């Protein structure tokens, strides 16, 4: 969790530096139950991950300090055909059953679960988003020789996810925008493509920097990170795309999942593999960046009203284009997250709190509140 000084730095937009990946290091071996971790998000101060094809329909909550599993959650109406990535927005978690190694699947889907359900129970029912590729006409079986596999999924804006293909033939990755609402969709490719130089296996969109980070590896398991930035609208590869090899730090690695845990901190998960004479265990890896935190992400506050402030019981938020709010105490501990403009402060201790109010254009406002 960012400390209070970092939150104020975000408000002022004082970070200004070029992108650079540093401090790439293994944190610890993943628990055996996650030896084929294939996707990751950082939520509620824990890493949330899952295994890929043929494993159970479960999410695992991992403490990134101790390396222990703190909770296991079952998606009761889901089957893990080939779960390959996971994404999140303010209110929901999205599990991508999108793996398609042979290119012949006609049951591709994304499971959507509410964060409120995730926090309240270990047995969760999901909404289902079914999709197919509008430009796929050949469904013949071609194991590890198809352009229709996919292992990367991001939440991009209020209404859309973006999925990225893992092209086994020539490494050319395409993006597809998919609505976040349950239903059945035929999805079209975005305009720009990426010559990835390998296999893209995971992605995360960082709204603090408006960059997409991809993880992947070459045909000889040399891991790399791609960064896409300065793109137009949702056409992720239309801007600047930069590849950084992390093989010198990690060696051979089947890197599978990536998530941001702040503006300039990232986690990677890898899965165990055996390719004689080489083998390795799954692990959690971290790295740092020095990306500029965009001042444009902080919205002008003139049109934001909080009342009453100071507050005793109920606080009201009055701002156009509101989507959600987070409440932090003075140590920057997250106290509450929700999507209502009416907040109950009655049970909170007296003192100063920070509200991070998110708007529909993906910007946010940070305001101070006094509880009396």
Residue 10 pLDDT exceeds 70 = no
Contact indicator for 130, 180 with CB cutoff of 8 Å: no
For the whole model, what pTM was predicted?
0.77
- Give pLDDT, residue 17: 38
CA torsion, points 134, 135, 139, 140, in degrees to nearest 10? 180
pLDDT one-digit tens code per residue, 107-155: 999 999 999 999 999 999 999 999 999 999 999 999 999 999 999 999 9
- Give pLDDT, residue 256: 97
> CB neighbours of 334 closer than 8 A, spacing ≥ 6?
1, 44, 45, 326, 327, 328
- Give pLDDT, residue 295: 43
Three-class HEC string of 131-159 = EEECCCCCCCCCCCCCCCEEEEEEECCCC
Contact indicator for 247, 222 with CB cutoff of 8 Å: yes
> Model confidence at 70, in pLDDT bands (50, 70, 90)?
very high
pLDDT one-digit tens code per residue, 148-190: 999 999 999 989 999 999 999 999 999 999 999 999 999 999 9
Q: How many residues does this entry show for the chain?
A: 372
pLDDT one-digit tens code per residue, 278-335: 899 999 999 999 998 764 444 455 578 888 999 999 999 988 888 899 998 877 788 8
DSSP 236-268: GGGSEEEEEE-HHHH-S--EEEEEESSSSEEEE
Contact indicator for 201, 186 with CB cutoff of 8 Å: no
Q: Which of 160, 163, 193 lies closest to 92 in space, CA to CA?
A: 160
Residue with tokens 């999924």: 153
Contact indicator for 313, 346 with CB cutoff of 8 Å: yes
Measured CA to CA in angstroms, residue 253 lies from 28, 53, 193, 316 at distances of 14, 19, 25, 50
Could you check whether the bond before residue 308 is cis, i.e. omega within 30 degrees of 0? yes
Residue 365 pLDDT exceeds 90 = no
Contact indicator for 141, 130 with CB cutoff of 8 Å: no
d(CA 64, CA 47): 7
> If you average pLDDT over every residue of the chain, what do you get?
90
> Model confidence at 13, in pLDDT bands (50, 70, 90)?
very low
d(CA 349, CA 302): 28
d(CA 286, CA 304): 37
Return the SS3 of 220.
coil
Q: How many helices (H) and strands (E) does the chain have?
A: 3, 31
Residue with tokens 């290119």: 103
- Give pLDDT, residue 5: 35
348 vs 332 pLDDT, higher one: 348
Relative to beta strand 160-166, strand 149-155 is: antiparallel
Residue 97 pLDDT exceeds 50 = yes
- Give pLDDT, residue 262: 87
d(CA 258, CA 216): 9
Residue 286 burial (CB count, 10 A)? 15
d(CA 255, CA 213): 13
Alpha helices in the chain (DSSP H): 4-12, 115-120, 247-250
198 vs 7 pLDDT, higher one: 198
Choice among 17-21, 73-77, 83-87, 109-113 with the minimum mean pLDDT? 17-21
CA torsion, points 196, 153, 182, 231, in degrees to nearest 10? -70
- Give pLDDT, residue 18: 43
pLDDT one-digit tens code per residue, 214-239: 999 999 999 999 999 999 999 999 99
**Mean pLDDT calculated for residue range 239-255:** 96
Contact indicator for 255, 296 with CB cutoff of 8 Å: no
Domains and CATH numbers, the chain: 17-291 (2.115.10), 296-371 (2.60.40.3080)
- Give pLDDT, residue 302: 55
What percentage of the chain reaches a pLDDT higher than 70? Answer: 92
């Amino acid at each position: 969790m960012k400390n209070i000084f970092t939150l104020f730095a975000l408000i002022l937009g004082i970070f200004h530096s070029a992108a650079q990946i540093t401090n790439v290091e293994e944190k610890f071996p993943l628990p055996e139950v996650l030896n084929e971790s294939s996707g990751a998000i950082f939520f509620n101060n824990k890493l949330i991950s899952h295994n890929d094809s043929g494993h159970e329909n479960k999410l695992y909550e991992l403490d990134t300090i101790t390396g222990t599993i703190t909770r296991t959650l079952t998606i009761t109406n889901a089957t893990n055909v080939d779960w390959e990535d996971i994404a999140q927005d303010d209110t929901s978690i999205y599990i991508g059953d999108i793996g398609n190694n042979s290119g012949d699947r006609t049951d591709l889907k994304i499971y959507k679960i509410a964060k409120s359900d995730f926090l309240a129970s270990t047995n969760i029912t999901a909404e289902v988003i079914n999709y197919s590729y509008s430009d796929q006409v050949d469904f013949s079986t071609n194991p590890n020789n198809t352009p229709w596999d996919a292992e990367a999924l991001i939440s991009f804006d209020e209404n859309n996810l973006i999925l990225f293909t893992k092209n086994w033939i020539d490494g050319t990755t395409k993006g597809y925008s998919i609505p976040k609402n349950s239903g059945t969709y035929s999805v079209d490719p975005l305009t720009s493509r990426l010559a990835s130089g390998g296999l893209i296996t995971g992605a995360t969109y960082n709204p603090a920097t408006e960059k997409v980070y991809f993880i992947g590896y070459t045909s000889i398991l040399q891991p790399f990170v791609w960064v896409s930035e300065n793109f137009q609208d949702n056409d992720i590869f239309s801007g600047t795309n930069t590849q950084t090899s992390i093989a010198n730090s990690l060696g051979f690695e089947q890197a599978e999942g990536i998530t941001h845990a702040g503006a300039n901190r990232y986690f990677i998960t890898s899965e165990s593999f055996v390719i004689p004479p080489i083998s390795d265990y799954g692990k959690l890896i971290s790295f740092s960046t020095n990306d500029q935190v965009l001042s444009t992400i902080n919205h002008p506050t003139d049109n934001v009203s909080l009342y009453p402030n100071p507050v005793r019981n109920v606080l009201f938020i009055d701002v156009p284009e509101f989507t959600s709010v987070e409440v932090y105490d003075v140590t920057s501990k997250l106290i509450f997250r929700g999507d209502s403009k009416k907040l109950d402060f009655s049970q909170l201790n007296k003192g100063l709190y920070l509200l991070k109010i998110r708007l529909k254009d993906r910007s946010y406002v940070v305001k101070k509140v006094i509880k009396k």
